[in-house]
Amino acid sequence: MRTMVYNILEGGLGRIDPICEVIRHADPDVIILPETWVADEFEKLADRLKMEMFQAESPRNPRGHIGLLSRLPLLQAVNFGPLDERLTRSAFQALVQDKHGPMGIIGVHLHAKESMKDEQIRVRELDAVLAMAVPFKSVPHIIAGDFNAQHPQQRIDLNKAPNFIKQRLGTDAQGTLPEQLPRDAIAKMLTAGYTDAHAIGRQPEAFEPTFTTAHPVFRLDYIFLSPHLQHAVSSCRSVCHPMTRFASDHLPVLAEVNMEFVGR
């Protein structure tokens, strides 16, 4: 089962063709898509890829929608955006049917920006996300999406960051950027018993950034595995394609899970 996370940037408006090219190149079975708030574009994407779609809309954030596309049978899907006020954007809980058994999927798009105050919002959101995972305790599942957060071991050169992020971070009296960004949110996922699929078999210096496509410095997009799946992932990588820089400001992440080796 090939699972992709792809933030398509502002609904994918005017960029459905390159987005489709990138997705077809990766050939995923299931795609978690933050920022699908332009309904017509999301429907067009689903139609062109011939995949079943589910849209989780946010009642509090008109640009907080997150979508799911699947060519596997979609057994159930629930939009948690209206159900938990801790979520600044929407999130969904879904179940798909692989030939080897069901797989649970929780799709998220957490609060953005880089300050400790912003990180505290993300940590609070993760309380809601982890509560969504409780019904999947006995089911192999992933929690995936744009976490807008930094891995505790990620090596980041802020001097290479885009100017708009440098401006948000600010500098001290000597014009120096902060040495570190907050890293509590991803640490919370790891402490909760989930495995970062991209970190399997990699040293931190080999972690691949996903943001931005023009200035690839940060890794914001993650696929976290429940304990059932820790030994079932054969690879997890950023997807590179000539169209990625035209399709979105995020690179997609693709994980391959061999459901034959899932611990149940």
Cα–chain-centroid distance for residue 66?
Answer: 10
Helix axes 184-191, 116-133, angle to 10 degrees: 20
Q: What is the pLDDT of residue 126?
A: 98
CA distances (Å), origin 50, targets 69, 75, 77: 9, 17, 18
What residues pair up with 178 in beta bridges, in sequence order? none
Nearest to 158 by CA among 221, 217, 210, 112: 217
Percentage of the chain with pLDDT > 70?
Answer: 97
- What are the structural domains of the chain? 2-261 (3.60.10.10)
Q: What is the pLDDT of residues 44-99, one digit of tens each?
A: 999 999 999 999 999 999 999 999 999 999 999 999 999 999 999 999 999 999 99
The answer for residues whose C-beta is within 8 angstroms of residue 193's C-beta and 6 or more apart is 226, 227
Residue 264 has pLDDT above 60, yes or no: no
Q: Is the pLDDT of residue 154 over 70?
A: yes
Q: How far is 65 from 54, CA to CA, in rounded Å?
A: 11
Instruction: Give this prediction's pTM.
Output: 0.96
For 87-119, write each residue's pLDDT tens digit: 999 999 999 999 989 999 999 999 999 999 999
Please say whether the dihedral angle defined by the alpha carbons of residues 150, 130, 2 and 257, taken in this order, is positive or negative.
positive
